[in-house]
Every structure is written in structure tokens, then in C-alpha cells.
Amino acid sequence: MTPFRLKLSMSALMVASTLALTACDAQVTIDTTDSAHTKKDVTAKDANTFITNTEKELSALYLESSRAEWIYANFITHDTSALSAEVNRKMTETVVRLANEAAKYDELELDYDARRKLDKLKLALTLPAPQDADKTAQLSQIVAELGGLYGKGKYCKEDGSCLSLGDMTSKMATSRDYNELLDLWQGWRQISKPMRSLYEQQVVLTNEGAKELGYADTGAMWRSKYDMPADDFTTELDRIWGQVKPLYNSLHCHVRAKLGEKYGTDKVPQDQPIPAHLLGNMWAQAWGNIYDVVAPENADPGYDVTELLAQNNYDELKMVKGAENFFTSMGFDTLPETFYERSLFVKPKDRDVQCHASAWNIDSKDDLRIKMCIQRTGEEFSVIHHELGHNFYQRAYNKQPLFYQESANDGFHEAIGDTIALSVTPGYLKEIGLLEQVPDESKDIGLLMKMALDKVAFVPFSLMVDQWRWQVFSGQVQPENYNKAWWELREKYQGVQAPIARSESDFDPGAKYHVPGNTPYTRYFLAHILQFEFHRSLCEIAGNDKAIHRCSIYNSKEAGEKLNAMLEMGSSRPWQEALETVTGKQQMDATAMLDYFAPLQTYLDEQNEGRNCGW
């Protein structure tokens, strides 16, 4: 996955609203005294005036925030950090105030747009602070402490040597030493133990804030962002997972068998969940790093995109221009000249920058940019296509009101980027002159296996993180069972188990950034489902007659027109209507993922014959 920076949009607040909670003070309670009296006196006209004024206020603030954040990301200094922190403080403080003011209009009968905009403003908060200033300050402190514990976390051994998360991540990707992997896995989870009591307090406080905004709890508030009743959304997610589960189970069975061959079935029993430290990733969320252990024989496709780029003299700029050409071939307008003047493509030698790939729209119009320290590799070539997918989405909805300048739901933006990346196929590489001959389909199994280890393996993990949090927020899971419930869900959905005994003195959820960082995770589940659904539908629109995994929508004006029609909607209409624009249906359908990996499913069925699958 490639996270992006959706600048000047409501979803930026969903991600960033906890960044500066430490700045929230008594100002949060502005206009909330005697709230019952206030709600009684307001009118529809008041609501529309509030919306108009809010849009103006936030537009100016977003522009200021975007510029400060861009400068900080590209010139990391003490001063730019201070400027970024200050504007984040101001933005969060403003949104907390406006969200609470928006709640005053809950009981009014309003037209569609007014109600939708007010709801979006309320739902812009990830952690709703209580209106009590002391409790808000307490929540601010907890958020800061949780972030600090994770950000400063490292594993220090008895000999005095210390490893950062980056160090451990690299080692887990390449080591095949069972005991070394176990040591790293245990070591990182020491950092989350002190988070436990803090997280418990945070749940109580943020639930109070959610109830003040009219939601049953914080989890119900998060689920209310999806244009359907919160409980119905939970049911919908389980339905979609049920479609993917047979493919996942087949992949799980094969991977477990190969790990059993590698480490011995005493360490990897063939009738139990897989030990979590053996899958090449600190959280066992994606398994691509162990491709060498499970790869099919003779799976080499016969070409290397990195080598092809070098042979054809592709530098960083040519890689970006090539990706832009993908979109213009579909009928999209070229990017503005300012995109090339203002983006960051190459890591500077004279200063520190944030190299993580991200897509930006600075002014909510046409000031589009990407920030990448591009490496001349095949993987980075796909990432550039992905990032430009965000940029073209940002530009498509820039004529919408500010409240609607975001994707249809928070899974759509990542899904669009990944949909485009799915079209970087051998056939596409041949069309643009990088590849002379498309390999025979028999060579596709290796490519599909590599992709499934990342995309299919990730699906249940992306579902269970918020399943755990929602149960915690609702009280279904009590603090004395935090860790027990975490591992029960991991076993249920992933078929993965802790490699050593865990207890309630541990807090293993906190070892994953998005939990102490309070970043909702369901968006990643949705993105992984939607990208294949979009891809299948756009391939049909383009008249594709190949297997779906070999299809590229490059050069299809018909697919481009249909895609743009959805992108232009932003979040102005329920996501179900946006989905229907491309797929013809208002219900998500994970069978597209099954269609994409159909050849791999056949291979896995052959490999798993006679094996004991399941756990």
C-alpha cells in the first residue's frame, strides 16, 4: 500500500484530526453551553449560513495547512516542524469547535446537501473530544503519550545494542532463522505494554465525545461514515469477507505447508494457525517477503522491469511522464506544468525530506504534486502510476464543494491508485515499448503468487483490526480481555497465532501503528476489494478479451470516460451510487478478486491435494 496525502479535503481531517489534540483547550467548548436551548432556537437558515461560513473558514485554513505541510515534508528543519505543528494545532482546534457546532442542527429537517455536509463535518473527527475542557486536555495528553511510545519504540538487547522498527522490519523480511525471528517478534512487542492503561482511558473519553455528537460509541461513529446504518455496514463487511475466504484458505494452506517444509512441522503444525513471526512481516499482515519459500517452480517470467527501464534510458522524469501518458491515453487532460515544476521526484543531496510516496493537491484546484524519492525500479514505476491515480482523482472532484472534495468513501482513493497499478501488465509494458515479447501465460503463476501474498493475505488482517477496536469501543470486549480478544480475532480471520504464550500483561494491538495512532483501518480492506472490482468492470468496458489479470485499460477512452464520471462525483453522493457508475451495481462484489486470481486458485488446488487444510 502507498499512503497518500489528500490535501484540502475533509478526509485529510479524518486522518489528521488527532495530530494536534494537545492544542485543544477550553476553546473546544465554544457555543456549547446550554446546548438544548441552542438546538431549540436554530433554523434551517442558520444551518445553511453556518455551512457557508464554515466552508470559507476551512478553505483558507486548508490552504495554509497544505503549504506548511509541504514545506515541512520537503525541508525538514526545527523551524518547519514548528510551523507544521502550529498549523495542525489551529486546524484541529477549529474542526473540534465546528464539529460540535454542527451537532446543534441534528434535529432540523434539512435538504440533502445541508444534512450531508453537516454530517461530514461531524464525522471529520477521528477521536471526538468531550466538551469538558479538563477531559479534552486529558485525552490530548493520552494521544500524545501513545504516539510517543510507538514513535520512540525500539528493542534494546541485554548486550546494550538497540534495533529500530526499521532495522527489525528489514531483518524479518530476509531472515529465515526461526529463533532470530522469534526474538525480533517478541522484542518489538515490549514497546506496547505501557500503552494498555492509556488506551483504556482513551476509549472511555472518546466514547463520551462520540455520545455528545449523537453516536452510540466511537466505533459506531466510524462506521457511520459509510452511507448505511453502522450495524448493517458490519454485516456487509462479513459478507464480502465470506466471498474471499475460500481463496485465502487455499493460499494459507499452501503457505503453511511450505513453511512446514522449511522449519519442520514441529514448529509449524499442519492443523493449527501459522506462527505469526514466520511470514516475513512484523505483523504477518502481508507475506510477499517469503515468496522465495513458497514460489512455484520455473516461475520466472523471463524479464525484469528494472532492467527494462535501464535499457530504455528511463530516468525519474521519464518514469513520471510515462505514467502520465497512461492517463492521457484514456482521455484525461495532461497534468499542469506546475506539477513538474513543484513536485519532488529525486531525493535531494543537501537536505532531509520525507521520502514516503504521497500525492497532494495544495490549493484544491490544479496545484497537483507528488512527493517521491524515486528509485529506478519496476516496483517504483508501478507506485508512480498509483500516485498519479490519486492526483487525477483529486483534480476530477475539484469543482465539488469543499465538503465533497474527497473520495466516495475512504477506501476509494487507495483503490483507484491500485486499480491503475493493476494495468501495469506485461501487455502494457509491450505497448509502451519496454518489453519485446509478452511471456506465455504459464509464466503468470509466479506473478500471481507474488501479488496474492501481498493482496489476498492482507484482506483478513485489514478487516480484523477494526473488528477488535469496534468491539472495544462498544464494550463487547472489556479491558481485562484486550489481548485475548486480539488473538482470538487473528486466529478466526487470519489463521495466525502468537508464537509464544501471551497474557493480559501484554498489549499486542499497540504494536501496530494504526492502533496507538488512531487511524481507522477498514479503508484498506475496502480498497483491496474495490480495486479488483473496478479493474474487472473497466476491462469489460474497454472490450478486453484476455484473462482479467492480463488486462490493461491503457488506451481505452471508453474506460477513461466511465472512470472519470465516478471520480468527478467526489463524495457528493453515497458511495453506492459512485460504485454503480463504474460497475453497474450498488453492492460491492469480491468475486472480481477471485476472477483475477483464478489461475492461481487452480494451481493452489493442485498443490493442496492431500494436505490437511484449515485450522
The one catalytic residue in 521, 524, 554, 596 is 524
Query: Of the candidates 137, 187, 135, which has an alpha carbon nearest to the alpha carbon of residue 161?
Result: 187
In angstroms, the CA 395 to CA 286 distance is: 31
Which residues are 370's β-sheet partners? 359
Q: Is 414 considered catalytic here?
A: yes
In angstroms, the CA 525 to CA 472 distance is: 19
Q: Is 386 considered catalytic here?
A: yes
* DSSP conformational letter for 377: S
Contact status, residue 471 vs residue 464, Cβ threshold 8 Å: no
Q: Is 277 considered catalytic here?
A: no
Helix, strand, coil percentages, rounded to 5, for the chain: 60, 5, 35
Burial class (CB in 10 A: 0-12, 13-18, 19+), 49: exposed
Contact status, residue 541 vs residue 588, Cβ threshold 8 Å: no
The one catalytic residue in 215, 414, 428, 542 is 414
Using alpha carbons only, what angle is made at residue 251 by residues 246 and 252, rounded to the nearest 5 degrees? 95
Q: Is 524 considered catalytic here?
A: yes
From residue 522, give the alpha-carbon distance in Å to each of 125, 126, 165, 210, 575: 16, 13, 24, 19, 15
Residue with cell 530476509: 174
Burial class (CB in 10 A: 0-12, 13-18, 19+), 285: buried
Q: Is 37 considered catalytic here?
A: no
In angstroms, the CA 445 to CA 354 distance is: 36
In angstroms, the CA 57 to CA 121 distance is: 13
The one catalytic residue in 26, 57, 307, 356 is 356
What is the DSSP pairing of strand 162-164 with strand 274-275?
Answer: unpaired
Exposed e or buried b for every residue in 409-442, given b needs 16+ CB within 10 A?
Answer: bbbbbbbbbbbbbbbbbbbbbeebebbeebeeee
In angstroms, the CA 580 to CA 569 distance is: 12
The one catalytic residue in 64, 133, 178, 514 is 514
The one catalytic residue in 357, 359, 415, 452 is 357
Other CB atoms within a 10 A radius of the CB of residue 22 amount to 18
**Start-to-end Cα distance in the chain:** 28
Which ranges in 1-77 belong to alpha helices (H)? 10-16, 35-41, 44-74
The one catalytic residue in 277, 390, 413, 549 is 390
The one catalytic residue in 69, 208, 380, 387 is 387
Q: What's CA 553's distance to the chain center, in Å? A: 24
Residue with cell 489481548: 483
In angstroms, the CA 445 to CA 600 distance is: 6
In angstroms, the CA 280 to CA 291 distance is: 9
Name the 3-class secondary structure at 120: helix
Contact status, residue 534 vs residue 415, Cβ threshold 8 Å: yes
Q: Which amino acid is at 596?
A: Y
What is the DSSP pairing of strand 496-497 with strand 274-275?
Answer: parallel
Contact status, residue 268 vs residue 294, Cβ threshold 8 Å: no
The one catalytic residue in 254, 277, 386, 528 is 386
Name 487's Cβ contacts closer than 8 Å, sequence gap at least 6: 497, 498, 502, 508
Residues carrying an active site annotation:
356-357, 386-387, 390, 414, 514, 524
